[in-house]
Structure 1
Amino acid sequence: MVTLATTTVLFFLIRLTGDPSVMIAGESATPAQLAQVRAAYGFDRSLIEQYLVYAGKVLHFDMGVSLQDGQSAIHKVLQAYPATLMLAAAAITANIVISVPIGAWLGQSRGAAARVVRIALNVLQGMPGFVSALLLVNIFAVGLGWLPSVGYGRPETLILPVVSVVSFMAPKLIRVIEANTSAALRSNFVRTARSIGASNRQILWRHVLPNALLGAIALIGAEIAAMLTGLVIIETIFAWPGIGWLLVQSTLNLDFPVVQAIALVMVVSVFLANAATEALQTLADPRLRTKGRPE
């Protein structure tokens, strides 16, 4: 139902952006040539007729062909998707590796160093991702020349995009883990563990951190869904050939079939990410398995 509603709304909204016949035929095309292009692509029909044709094709998993090069729209999207998956996987891994230890440390620290880190997190959390990306490009690519600002396929091309993504996603996850760690340290099971002689390290790794991560799974799942649906600005800044970059190019070119195919892939990706997150929460927290069951 969500997929149907999203694709339907997008179908009508995208047709308000302009006439793709001009993009196909060229600005110097005569009225007769424009009419010929509209007839060839079905743009001379009413919107309702166009939508019914589109819906019928979608039911047969046919998203049409690109208006720019004639390739299958869904094929172009699936060609670009691995680049987004690579960037998302690297960013998710880096985000967890960085956020979990910092959040756990902040949750049990009250010193000056912890205050400095919290201030830095506040600054990063309030800074848009594209600002971090542009700063990193100016410093490490333009100024120092250490890293490439564009490119795809080499390990070093991942560094700046991943750091840009992590810079605005990690502060949220760190804050959640910090709050959960602090709450867990004040809980009864921690006091019980201390009373039977458990060390601080054992309490942190066996009791506190697993409980802190339970509350962070939902946020991690939301961040995964956001990354799988395309980091449009980041991919555009770094010319990363994922679905976010493809979405921008297709929108500028009024390539309706490709934009619609991207929207469909994004909706399915969000659904799968949310389903996986819910399954992981149920697996990690046995209490959720019995929720809603009759006594």
Structure 2
Amino acid sequence: MLGGLRDFAFVLIAAMTVLFFLLRLTGDPALVIAGEGASPAQIEAIRVEYGFDRSLIVQYGQTMLRLLQGDFGKSLTDGSPALGKVLASLPATLFLAAMALSLNLLISLPLGAWLGQKRTGAARRAVRGVLTVMQGFPGFVIALLLINLFAAGLEWLPSIGYGGPATWVLPVISVVSFLAPKLIRVVEANTHAALAADFVRTARSTGASENQILWRHVLPNALLGAVALIGAELAFMLTGLVVIETIFAWPGIGWLLVQSTLNLDFPVVQAVVFVMVVSVFLSNAVTEAVQALLDPRIRSRARAAS
């Protein structure tokens, strides 16, 4: 546990350090704050007010000291607390991630188990072919295709916003269409491997039905092997939905990151990255806890290590 916290602290400091210097290469936020037509004297006054006139080393030291105190500063665009602005956008991202994860599990687990039961059959070959094609499409390509078909073409669904259920459909499907093929493949492989294991032959010899074997023995083992991928996909959704949120104008932290980067709003960008790093750490911790809960061997190794 202590080792994990040390690693997390190191990653967090490294990420914030690299981010600080990269942001300074993107431009001068004083020009954005001053706006068009500002005089050189006004721009210089803004630099002095916000401390941008100091050396990078001094700015870095002051920034890291404030971050250690939990102070992310105020947004350069509207003056609101940067961390509060990010936390206000976080529920939208969590909501999208929760819906996408739920639909992903509902589709991937039974479909992967069905594919893993047999390697032959025209229907199974067709499904595997579709999955192979879908794995080659980035999520944003599918999102644009869905918008052209269901929003611009048929006009069945809205393409932007975060309102009622109708606005949820296209973003969720876009995310699931990118993530589901990988999980289906993993569940398929794990199911196929479990069906060939000794404990399945033992269960058959005792007279257990195929449905009992599948639901009581095979699927729990297949799910155990897929937990790591599910955790990785959850971490991705908490940090990697920038493009999807931007396409659908979904007001999550990904969309906020893009807008803040374009506006050179350094404090908000730093707060977004901080929240993303913390989210990945928590997602990994939850994944490890679920794995330990499902597999007694992992629990025993964890106790032995402690």
If the length of structure 1 is used for normalisation, what is the TM-score? 0.98
Q: Deviations over 1:116-145 (max 9, x none)?
A: 000000011110110000000000111111
Given that 1:230 and 1:243 are in contact with CA atoms closer than 8 Å, whether structure 2 keeps it comes out as no
Structure 1 match to 2:259: 249
Equivalent positions of 1:144-183 (< 5 A) are 144-183=154-193
Provide the C-alpha distance between the structure 1 equivalents of 2:209 and 2:263, rounded to a whole number of angstroms: 62
The alignment status of 1:8 with 2:2, answered yes or no, reads no
Structure 2 match to 1:79: 88
Structure 1 match to 2:148: 138
Equivalent positions of 1:36-115 (< 5 A) are 36-109=45-118, 110-115=120-125
Pairwise CA distance, 1:151: 1.4
Provide the C-alpha distance between the structure 2 equivalents of 1:152 and 1:50, rounded to a whole number of angstroms: 37
Structure 2 match to 1:283: 293
Q: Deviations over 1:10-62 (max 9, x none)?
A: 01111100111110101321111111010000000001111111111111111
Deviates further, 148-157 or 125-134: 148-157
Provide the C-alpha distance between the structure 2 equivalents of 1:231 and 1:27, rounded to a whole number of angstroms: 32
AA partner of residue 130 (structure 2): A
Pairwise CA distance, 1:230: 4.5
Which secondary structure state, in structure 2, belongs to the residue aligned with residue 290 of structure 1?
Answer: helix
Q: Deviations over 1:60-85 (max 9, x none)?
A: 11100011010100011001000000
Which secondary structure state, in structure 2, belongs to the residue aligned with residue 153 of structure 1?
Answer: coil
Given that 1:230 and 1:244 are in contact with CA atoms closer than 8 Å, whether structure 2 keeps it comes out as yes
Question: Where in structure 1 are there 5+ consecutive unaligned residues?
Answer: none
Structure 2 match to 1:222: 232
Which secondary structure state, in structure 2, belongs to the residue aligned with residue 61 of structure 1?
Answer: coil
Equivalent positions of 1:199-210 (< 5 A) are 199-210=209-220
Pairwise CA distance, 1:209: 0.3
Which secondary structure state, in structure 2, belongs to the residue aligned with residue 291 of structure 1?
Answer: helix
Given that 1:230 and 1:242 are in contact with CA atoms closer than 8 Å, whether structure 2 keeps it comes out as no
Provide the C-alpha distance between the structure 2 equivalents of 1:125 and 1:27, rounded to a whole number of angstroms: 45
| Count of equivalent residues | 294
CA RMSD of aligned residues (A): 0.9
The alignment status of 1:261 with 2:285, answered yes or no, reads no
AA partner of residue 43 (structure 1): F
Provide the C-alpha distance between the structure 1 equivalents of 2:188 and 2:151, rounded to a whole number of angstroms: 33
Which secondary structure state, in structure 1, belongs to the residue aligned with residue 70 of structure 2?
Answer: coil
AA partner of residue 169 (structure 2): I
Pairwise CA distance, 1:219: 0.3
Provide the C-alpha distance between the structure 2 equivalents of 1:68 and 1:116, rounded to a whole number of angstroms: 52
If the length of structure 2 is used for normalisation, what is the TM-score? 0.95
Which secondary structure state, in structure 1, belongs to the residue aligned with residue 301 of structure 2?
Answer: coil
AA partner of residue 222 (structure 2): A
Pairwise CA distance, 1:148: 0.8
194, 199, 215: which one aligns with 1:189: 199
Provide the C-alpha distance between the structure 1 equivalents of 2:261 and 2:21, rounded to a whole number of angstroms: 14
Identity score, percent: 68
Pairwise CA distance, 1:153: 2.6
Given that 1:184 and 1:211 are in contact with CA atoms closer than 8 Å, whether structure 2 keeps it comes out as yes
The alignment status of 1:129 with 2:139, answered yes or no, reads yes
Pairwise CA distance, 1:190: 0.4
Provide the C-alpha distance between the structure 1 equivalents of 2:277 and 2:109, rounded to a whole number of angstroms: 29
Structure 2 match to 1:19: 28
Deviates further, 152-161 or 238-247: 152-161
Provide the C-alpha distance between the structure 2 equivalents of 1:26 and 1:161, rounded to a whole number of angstroms: 34
AA partner of residue 140 (structure 2): F
